[in-house]
Amino acid sequence: MYVYIDGEIKKAGEARLSVFDHGFMYGLGLFETFRVYNGHPFLLNAHMERLEASAEELGIVFRYEREMVMEEIQQLLDANGLHNAYVRYNVSAGPGDLGLQTTPYLDPVIVIYMKPLPAAGAEPIQKDALWLQLRRNSPEGRERMKSHHYMNNWLAKQEMKDRPEAEGIFLNEQGYAAEGVVSNIFWRRGNTLYTPAVDTGILNGITRQFVIQLAHENDYIVEKGYFLPQDIEAAEEMFVTNSIQEIALVRALEDRYFPSCSAAQLLHSRYREERETK
Ligand SMILES: C=C(O[C@@H]1C=C(C(=O)O)C=C[C@H]1N)C(=O)O
Ligand SMILES: Cc1ncc(COP(=O)(O)O)c(C=O)c1O
């Protein structure tokens, strides 16, 4: 496989970063993970605008220019011979001195990772969900950024190692439902969809935002807030969302099987209509 690093396409094994990169030393790096469907990077603007906003908060000088990013992605798709791919667009702060820096990072290092994905299916994937023992940590800043800080997620994933296909569901430190290890969560009762508020400390997922828009367009009420485990356990259906797994219906949360998947099916069919154009 090839990666894109600092303006060049390199074999993955030959790509190098400085040991003084503050993304490596202090976690000062950001990334966006999205899917390319038949050559089309889905919701690219939304992903890159989230990245750009987080970069500004971290003093990393990064400006999104669609045409340039599209060209970078296409070059890497061509090098890897892919049309359907998992893409991680990564901006690391770049080299600095030993010690915390207070001046802007003027020379960030852009790395684009890619791996093949099968052509997208017509049906939503299905998962089981399990409550995690580990609590979701609080965001490093005002709102959670998609930063290099994934130790909380990695530790949670270790709880799931006997169930690699399941998704672990975090409560936050206050005991409110938060999000999955690598996903946002939704559940339905009647015509209302529920999802944890961003202030519970979750990542404001691009897929979460798009699904909320689709839900409104299809006359669902969407309640964002603070919810307890029993609120989800009393639901008619549950699904989880992220940019790779799309809208994944949840068959069961622990031993609680959900009787319906109507909203997930409807929203996934609308998602499918858009994923090669938006
Ligand atoms: C952690 C990454 O991205 C997350 C993981 C997934 C996934 O495993 O399905 C999807 C999108 C992101 N939430 C990453 O390193 O790319
Ligand atoms: C912790 C966490 N929450 C939510 C999501 C979903 O975010 P998105 O819809 O932007 O892929 C992800 C995936 O990036 C994640 O890692």
Domain with CATH 3.20.10.10 in the chain: 126-274
Residue 195 CA to residue 200 CA, distance in Å, equals 10
Residue 85 CA to residue 49 CA, distance in Å, equals 21
Site to probe by mutation for ligand 1, drawn from 42, 184, 244, 246 as the one with most ligand atoms within 8 Å of Cβ, is 244
- What is the rounded average pLDDT of the residues 190-197? 98
CATH number of 2-116: 3.30.470.10
Instruction: Name the residue with the closest Cα to ligand 2, atom 1.
Output: 182
Locate the ligand 1 atom nearest the alpha carbon of residue 153 and give its number: 1
Which runs of E-coded beta strand occur in 159-245?
167-171, 177-180, 184-189, 192-196, 221-225, 237-242
Distance from the alpha carbon of residue 197 to the mean position of ligand 2, in angstroms:
14
ipTM higher than the 0.85 cut: yes
Site to probe by mutation for ligand 2, drawn from 86, 143, 145, 146 as the one with most ligand atoms within 8 Å of Cβ, is 146
Domain with CATH 3.30.470.10 in the chain: 2-116
Task: Give domain 126-274's CATH architecture.
Answer: Alpha-Beta Barrel (3.20)
Backbone angle region of 254, left / alpha / beta, with phi > 0 → left and psi within -120 to 50 → alpha: left
Helices marked H in the chain:
22-26, 44-58, 66-80, 151-159, 206-217, 229-233, 262-274
Q: What is the pLDDT of residues 137-189, one digit of tens each?
A: 999 999 999 999 999 999 999 999 889 899 999 999 999 999 999 999 999 99
